[in-house]
Amino acid sequence: MEVLLNTLYVVTRGAVLKRDGQTVQVLIESKPRLAVPVHQLESVAVFGGVRVTPPVMAMCAERGVAVSFLTESGRLQARVDAPQSGNVLLRRAQFRAADDEGWRARLSAAFVAGKVQNSRNVVLRSARESTNPEESHSLSQTASRLGDTLPLLERAENADSIRGLEGDAARAYFAAFPLFVRQNRDDFQPKGRTRRPPLDRMNALLSCLYALLTNDCVSAIAAAGLDPSVGFLHVDRPGRPGLALDLMEEFRPLIVDRLALALVNRQQVKADGFVIREGGAVEMTDATRRTVVGAYQQRKKDEMTHPALNQKSPVGRLPFLQARILARVLRGDLASYVPCIPKN
């Protein structure tokens, strides 16, 4: 458990969050292990097996601190938030835009272009670092295929076409993903992209990290005064944070995929840190989950230059900056949404 950029993550099974005055106290085996003043928090994220008492829930709601509940594998189950803040005129503009096919196409294309270009940068980096000429050539071909998708996105006329292009690009990217793994390939060979449940160690790692990123993107969208549920690329579905999922597309390769590969290639996570359940589902051990959450926290501290704003920012703040840019576009202050694509 650790506080980073105003988020408290609690992963220890059996931990209890209790209220002590205006402080969130974490107890493990009935002993206080950490206490954080609620005014220092923006959100709390707890994994399966962690109990949050009603007084803590009430205090967080009063202070506008969101509480997210994730399964032990990292899938977001529920998020309890305070009443939504922000300008009602901005949200009405968001809803109108979401019902307009032109708006849906333009914003969907921007979100997917960010994902494809950042994915392409991951592929190009891996091609440069590869010592196998055949693999390097294969990766270069994948990068070219992803590059060919970008002008098609510009010409796409509706969101459905853009979803099709995104799906094609994602399949090409994940087909190349095994070549990104340089250590313990046999143990971390992904079988495409599988989820609910993940069927191999790499997918279990990715799913956990994507869940953490989803939680941060929900927070970023809400902080910008927008409704996380009403998206453009992702169709409306009860309980799904469509706009947060839209926003996170450009950050999947940039934040999560690169981190997952670093954890495996640096052997910070190992095969024995995962358990294969009956039926083939793969889950992390508690120790591996703590390592992964800690690495994600550290990644959020890293600084990166925002390409549009030309200013350094912690990686954990990039979704918040992009959410504010999106809000300005919906208000009419900016002509178009530009995804976050740092130089490779």
The model scores a pTM over 0.85: no
Q: What would the pLDDT profile of 162-201 be if each residue is shown by its tens digit?
A: 999 999 999 999 999 999 988 888 888 887 777 678 888 9
Q: What percentage of the chain reaches a pLDDT higher than 70?
A: 95
DSSP 12-24: -TT-EEEEETTEE
Tell me what the mean pLDDT of segment 125-131 comes to: 89
Alpha-carbon distance of 94 to 230, in angstroms, equals: 8
Quick one: pLDDT band at residue 83, thresholds 50, 70, 90? low
Tell me what the mean pLDDT of segment 134-155 comes to: 93
Q: What would the pLDDT profile of 42-73 be if each residue is shown by its tens digit?
A: 778 888 788 999 999 999 888 888 888 877 76
Q: What is the mean pLDDT of the chain?
A: 88
Tell me what the mean pLDDT of segment 92-103 comes to: 94
Predicted local confidence at residue 295, as pLDDT:
92
Q: What percentage of the chain reaches a pLDDT higher than 90?
A: 49
Predicted local confidence at residue 146, as pLDDT:
95
Predicted local confidence at residue 3, as pLDDT:
43
Predicted local confidence at residue 120, as pLDDT:
96
Angle between helices 318-331 and 201-223 (to 10 degrees): 50
Q: What would the pLDDT profile of 201-219 be if each residue is shown by its tens digit?
A: 999 999 989 989 998 898 8
Q: Is the pLDDT of residue 276 over 90?
A: no
- Return the percent helix, strand and coil in the chain, to nearest 5: 50, 15, 30
Domains of the chain: 2-80 (3.100.10.20), 88-331 (1.20.120.920)
Six-digit token string for 74? 């990292």
